[in-house]
């Protein structure tokens, strides 16, 4: 996919430097395509804002960056923080490559973010989804069953799941081998339901490919003449359909919500944080700690609503 930036109104020098920055992300950090596209969008947005003021992003000063961020007052704090982070990394790159001597974003504070707990499903809701899929017949049911069981059993990111090579699932050993962010590999154990669903899908996969077509992917795309895998967008659509059939709000369901459910349910059942961190592929355990807050908040809510000595139950 072409990552080149649009040339209109941005400035050739800045365009070239952003392209070089994206190349660095790939070469030095092995950043995924979606990550690089996200950086491109954020830097393009800033570049276009400044271009209207006849300023190239590569030459922007601190006041210019502040003016851009202030123009985003109605934008969610999370988006503002992400765009500031992109700008910081871009200017650090410019300084490291001696394209400029100073970093204009260095003294700018990121907006304060409240603690945002991840959305997830209860165990009963996950079981409802799986029950719907288990009633589905044929190749569609087998594929969706394998997708959901593997996702809930391993907590994979959606790009990791749909792009799994066939040989990544080592069902004899009960593991799936995953190549995650930055090209880092990890081994995640699988339970019996996931292994059973994986095996059930294999005959349908073989039938779908036919005798002449080959694919390295566990979930190959239906596109002929091209060895690619099921798209994230199609998987999202399938999940929404299953949610409706399970009488759940489809807006609550996404592959990432099931990843959160995997981690939250592990913590609730006593899994240690380090093990969950390893299985999720988090570089920093602080990222994983959010699931302890989810479990704690749920426990507090349960006690508040059901314990006879809580404020709701107790009559003074």
- Per-residue pLDDT band for 8 (boundaries 50, 70, 90) equals low
According to CATH, the topology of domain 123-305 is hpI Integrase; Chain A (1.10.443)
Catalogue the active-site residues: 157, 181, 256, 259, 282, 291
pLDDT, residue 200, reads: 96
Is residue 314 scored above 90 in pLDDT?
A: no
Is residue 76 scored above 90 in pLDDT?
A: no
Q: Which residues in 139-175 are b (16+ Cβ under 10 Å) and which e?
A: eebbbbbbbbbbbbbbbbbbbbbbbbeeebbeeeeeb
Is residue 193 scored above 80 in pLDDT?
A: yes
pLDDT, residue 22, reads: 94
Q: Among the ranges 171-180, 284-293, 302-311, which has the highest mean pLDDT value?
A: 171-180
pTM (whole model) above 0.85: no
Q: What is the pLDDT of residues 245-264, one digit of tens each?
A: 999 998 888 888 898 888 88
Is residue 307 scored above 50 in pLDDT?
A: no
Closest CA to 158 of 260, 264, 266, 256: 256
Q: CA 155, CA 170: separation in Å to the nearest integer? A: 16
- Per-residue pLDDT band for 310 (boundaries 50, 70, 90) equals very low
Is residue 194 scored above 60 in pLDDT?
A: yes
Q: CA 92, CA 96: separation in Å to the nearest integer? A: 6
Percent of the chain with pLDDT over 90: 47
Average pLDDT of the chain, as a whole number: 83
- Per-residue pLDDT band for 74 (boundaries 50, 70, 90) equals low
pLDDT, residue 116, reads: 55
Mean pLDDT throughout 101-109? Answer: 89
Is residue 237 scored above 90 in pLDDT?
A: yes
User: In this structure, what is the dihedral angle of CA atoms 262, 264, 268, 272, given to the nearest 10 degrees?
Assistant: 80
pLDDT, residue 223, reads: 67
Mean pLDDT throughout 94-109? Answer: 91
Domain residue ranges in the chain: 12-96, 123-305
Is residue 272 scored above 50 in pLDDT?
A: yes
pLDDT, residue 294, reads: 54
Lowest mean pLDDT among 186-195, 258-267, 289-298: 289-298
Here the tokens at position 145 are 């069953």
Cβ-based neighbours of 222, under 8 Å, separated by 6 or more: 208
Is residue 137 scored above 50 in pLDDT?
A: yes
Q: Among the ranges 75-89, 241-255, 291-305, which has the highest mean pLDDT value?
A: 241-255
Match 């271009």 to its residue by tokens: 51
pLDDT, residue 210, reads: 84
Is residue 221 scored above 70 in pLDDT?
A: yes
Lowest mean pLDDT among 255-269, 275-289, 293-307: 293-307
Mean pLDDT throughout 238-242? Answer: 93
């Amino acid at each position: 996919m072409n990552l080149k930036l649009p040339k209109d109104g941005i400035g050739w020098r800045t365009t070239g430097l952003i392209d070089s920055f994206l190349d660095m992300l790939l070469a030095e950090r092995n950043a995924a395509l979606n990550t690089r596209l996200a950086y491109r969008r954020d830097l393009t947005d800033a570049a276009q804002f400044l271009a209207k003021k006849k300023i190239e992003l590569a030459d922007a000063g601190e006041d210019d960056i502040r003016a851009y961020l202030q123009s985003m007052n109605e934008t969610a704090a999370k988006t503002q923080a992400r765009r500031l982070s992109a700008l910081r990394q871009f200017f650090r790159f410019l300084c490291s490559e001696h394209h400029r001597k100073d970093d204009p974003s260095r003294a700018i504070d990121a907006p304060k973010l409240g603690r945002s707990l991840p959305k997830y499903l209860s165990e009963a809701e996950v079981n409802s989804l799986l029950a719907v899929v288990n009633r589905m017949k044929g190749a569609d049911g087998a594929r969706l069953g394998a997708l959901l069981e593997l996702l809930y059993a391993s907590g994979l990111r959606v790009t990791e799941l749909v792009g799994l090579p066939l040989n990544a699932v080592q069902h004899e050993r009960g593991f799936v081998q995953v190549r995650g962010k930055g090209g880092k590999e990890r081994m995640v154990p699988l339970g019996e339901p996931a292994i059973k669903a994986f095996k059930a899908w294999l005959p349908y996969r073989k039938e779908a490919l036919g005798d002449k077509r080959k694919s390295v992917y566990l979930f190959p795309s239906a596109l002929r003449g091209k060895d690619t895998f099921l798209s994230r967008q199609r998987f999202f659509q399938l999940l929404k359909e299953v949610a409706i059939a399970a009488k759940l709000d489809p807006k609550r369901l996404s592959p990432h919500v099931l990843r959160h459910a995997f981690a939250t349910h592990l913590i609730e059942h006593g899994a240690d944080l380090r093990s969950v961190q390893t299985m999720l592929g988090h570089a920093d355990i602080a990222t994983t700690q959010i699931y302890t807050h989810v479990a704690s908040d749920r426990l507090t809510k349960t006690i508040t609503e059901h314990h006879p000595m809580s404020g709701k139950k107790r009559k003074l």
